[in-house]
Amino acid sequence: QEKLDMSMYPVETIRNFSIIAHVDHGKSTLADRLLEITGTIAKTDRNKQVLDKLQVERERGITVKAQSASLFYNHKGVNYLLNLIDTPGHVDFSYEVSRSLSACQGVILVVDANEGIQAQTVANFYLAFEAQLSVIPVINKIDLKNADPERVEKQIEKLFDIPIHECVRISAKLGTNVEKVLQKVIEKIPPPQCNTADPLKALVFDSTFDHYRGVIANIALFGGEIQKGYKIVSAHMKKRYEVNEVGILTPNEQPTHKLYAGQVGYLIAGMKEVTEAQIGDTLFLYKQPVEPLPGFKSAKPMVFAGMYPIDQTEYNNLRSALERLTLNDSSVTVHRDSSLALGAGWRLGFLGLLHMEVFNQRLEQEYNMSVILTAPTVPYKAILSSAKLIKEYGKAEITIINPAHFPDKLSVSEYLEPTVLGTIVTPHEYIGKIITLCQDRRAVQKDMLYIDERRVMLKYLFPLNEIVVDFYDALKSLSSGYASFDYEDAGYQAADLIKMDILLNGNPVEELSTIIHNDKAYTTGKYLCERLKDAIPRQLFEIAIQAAIGKKIIARETLKAYRKNVVAKCYGGDITRRMKLLKRQAEGKKLMRKIGNVEVPRDAFIHVLKRQTDK
């Protein structure tokens, strides 16, 4: 394969940009067209979301990983190198978007001409705005018969202060007007500010693991040049490597002789350990240290779930699979954890439920591991008041990830729960239903703004645990799928939290205890007890399934015992004969209940802890 010479592209002919938008507004399709126009991929009918390489992405039709590609384009006689990054649209993956923006100088903001501005459009625009990138608004899907680009242009002007004449109307599916987007990119977006004469300085903004070549790091060069045989050091681990190969991604890897300042490409340097290519790390030449780049603020997990191997013998395989997958998806946090019923495992932190599902699916598809995921919980905090506990933890404010470590009410001055600021964009006829839904979830209204005569933007402060499981589904079904939802972290607030235990014949079952708000305790307790009654097999003695808060029992279900029909041999005779036999049996059962202990089978746990879809 011919190696490319990248020295023909000096800094002023380079444009780094990414495509941002709401879910399903056509980012990946626009990326396909741009790849075709610049001749990076051949024009065929088969080019559907070329950059979505993962099996998960293909099945669900969504983008999960940001993918980059380099395009060559001739504009007015000058050859330009355009580095395009296609980003995901879901709120769960906004971390990927903010990371991609660090390697860019501008963005293409895609808005659907049919749906108009949605919640994620607003969120992603502000990410780009805060990073001080130039924004090119593009209105997509003008070929649909319900498209109304004029309305969308007015919305863009009202919300983002971008003049109407700057909007480009395109249809990415048919390829209408897409050339104009490329010209805008070259005119509007500034080249990167860096110099080839400076010492080497490269930012690792993504990495993947290859079984044969070790870690492949995606890098953006902020200074200097790099080629095969250079000795480099990573600022984070302080380890030395020798570069084996550098190149650019024209979606597929294309080796080059060198990479120069301002370019984006990949690098293979014999990194064997998964932990070495930290995302946000700075690479520099050996003996030429530079000031490391600021990196990324680490992602803040919003949802925690326990992950356990179905069979404990699989523990080591699962561990190596997790390490490789977290290298590629750096926003997952991992803590070791173990439980009596499920054995050794991990407590994983995710950015949202979709993220958790996708991660689980990738484990199954790419590494062939099937696992047990417990019910998702959110991180709570407690401010301790007892001096003894403060001494034990070393600080007054502790974070509780696992309900088993929830401190007692007597030793705590207040509990805190995480909150998020949610933005809901909806057609105005659904406002009533949506406001009711939000109030049921203990939300507080902060703002309400009419975007145009038909669409409203609502802002609410939500407790995170109320929206984490099924809020999005409820919102979509109330609004016939028209409302969109986006949230950002809003810190912690004081809340009336309690720990609810599940008792079987008076003995608490540790895995089933949950942290919950006082108002919701009764309904959840009743629900859990009913579910357990279905899940636990009947025994020869009676089992009382109870939900308790401290000493107070709030719900109970009784699982009746199997019993032999002891009165089958009585034909007629006195009633006292019958009573005597039944009494004797009852005494025997009472004795058994005292000494019998209830083993909850694993599949019962899985049945109860799985997400409750059939509420």
- Give me the pLDDT at residue 409, please: 82
Question: Is the confidence at residue 447, as pLDDT, over 80?
Answer: yes
State which of 443, 478, 495 marks the end of a domain. 495
Residue, of 527 and 482, whose pLDDT is higher: 527
Q: Domain with 272 in it: what CATH number?
A: 2.40.30.10
The single residue listed with the structure tokens 């040049």 is 225
Question: Is 298 contained in some domain?
Answer: no
- Give me the pLDDT at residue 131, please: 81
pLDDT 10s digits, 161-220: 888 888 888 888 887 888 888 888 888 888 888 877 788 888 887 777 777 887 888 888
Is the same domain home to 18 and 129? Answer: yes
Question: Is 48 contained in some domain?
Answer: yes
Angstrom distance (rounded) from CA 293 to CA 364? 36
Of 96, 102, 98, 124, give the one whose Cα is nearest residue 294. 102
Burial (Cβ within 10 Å: 0-12, 13-18, ≥19) of residue 327 = buried
Strand spans (E) along 239-328? 240-242, 245-250, 252-256, 258-260, 264-268, 282-285, 303-309
Over residues 43-54, mean pLDDT? 67
Over residues 364-387, mean pLDDT? 82
Question: Is 195 contained in some domain?
Answer: no
Query: pLDDT-based confidence at 614, cuts 50/70/90?
Result: very low
| Domain span holding position 402 | 380-495
Over residues 345-372, mean pLDDT? 83
- Average pLDDT score over the chain: 81
Is the same domain home to 332 and 411? Answer: no
| 279, 99 contact by CB (below 8 A) | yes
This prediction's pTM: 0.73
Question: Is 295 contained in some domain?
Answer: no
Query: pLDDT-based confidence at 580, cuts 50/70/90?
Result: very high
- Give me the pLDDT at residue 586, please: 87
Is the same domain home to 459 and 348? Answer: no
Question: Is 614 contained in some domain?
Answer: no
- Give me the pLDDT at residue 296, please: 67
Question: Is 401 contained in some domain?
Answer: yes
Is the same domain home to 178 and 38? Answer: yes
The tokens describing 327, both together, are: 């290298």
Query: pLDDT-based confidence at 615, cuts 50/70/90?
Result: very low
- Give me the pLDDT at residue 274, please: 62
Residue, of 556 and 607, whose pLDDT is higher: 556
State which of 156, 188, 220 marks the end of a domain. 188
The single residue listed with the structure tokens 């009596």 is 340
Question: Is the confidence at residue 613, as pLDDT, over 50?
Answer: no
- Give me the pLDDT at residue 372, please: 79
Residue, of 445 and 286, whose pLDDT is higher: 445
Angstrom distance (rounded) from CA 326 to CA 207? 10
The single residue listed with the structure tokens 């013998």 is 313
Question: Is the confidence at residue 458, as pLDDT, over 80?
Answer: yes
Percentage of the chain modeled with pLDDT above 90:
2
Alpha-carbon distances, residue 228 vs 11, 246, 270 (angstroms): 21, 7, 12
Question: Is the confidence at residue 610, as pLDDT, over 60?
Answer: no
Is the same domain home to 366 and 394? Answer: no
Is the same domain home to 35 and 157? Answer: yes
Query: Which residue stretches of 506-574 are H helix?
Result: 521-535
Angstrom distance (rounded) from CA 306 to CA 161? 45
Is the same domain home to 140 and 21? Answer: yes
Is the same domain home to 256 and 338? Answer: no
| 214, 270 contact by CB (below 8 A) | yes
pLDDT 10s digits, 492-535: 888 888 888 888 888 887 777 888 888 888 888 898 888 888 88
The tokens describing 504, both together, are: 């079987």
| 137, 160 contact by CB (below 8 A) | yes
Is the same domain home to 39 and 175? Answer: yes
Angstrom distance (rounded) from CA 330 to CA 95? 9
Angstrom distance (rounded) from CA 146 to CA 454? 15
Is the same domain home to 156 and 20? Answer: yes
Total structural domains within the chain: 5
Q: Domain with 313 in it: what CATH number?
A: 3.30.70.870
The tokens describing 334, both together, are: 């991992």
Is the same domain home to 171 and 126? Answer: yes
- Give me the pLDDT at residue 47, please: 61
Q: Domain with 489 in it: what CATH number?
A: 3.30.70.240
The tokens describing 139, both together, are: 């209105």
Question: Is 136 contained in some domain?
Answer: yes
Which residues, including other chains, have CB under 8 Å from residue 89's CB and lie 6 or more apart?
20, 21, 22, 23, 24, 25, 27, 62, 63, 120, 124
pLDDT 10s digits, 96-127: 777 778 778 888 888 888 888 887 888 888 88
Question: Is the confidence at residue 253, as pLDDT, over 70?
Answer: yes
- Give me the pLDDT at residue 609, please: 60
Report helix angle 94-101 to 119-130, nearest 10. 30
Q: Domain with 144 in it: what CATH number?
A: 3.40.50.300
The tokens describing 531, both together, are: 């579910």
Alpha-carbon distances, residue 407 vs 393, 410, 411, 559, 608 (angstroms): 11, 8, 7, 31, 24
Of 85, 139, 68, give the one whose Cα is nearest residue 110. 139
- Give me the pLDDT at residue 583, please: 92
Is the same domain home to 490 and 504? Answer: no
Question: Is the confidence at residue 612, as pLDDT, over 60?
Answer: no
State which of 463, 495, 527 marks the end of a domain. 495
| DSSP conformation letters of 426-467 | EEGGGHHHHHHHHHHTT-EEEEEEESSSSEEEEEEEEEHHHH
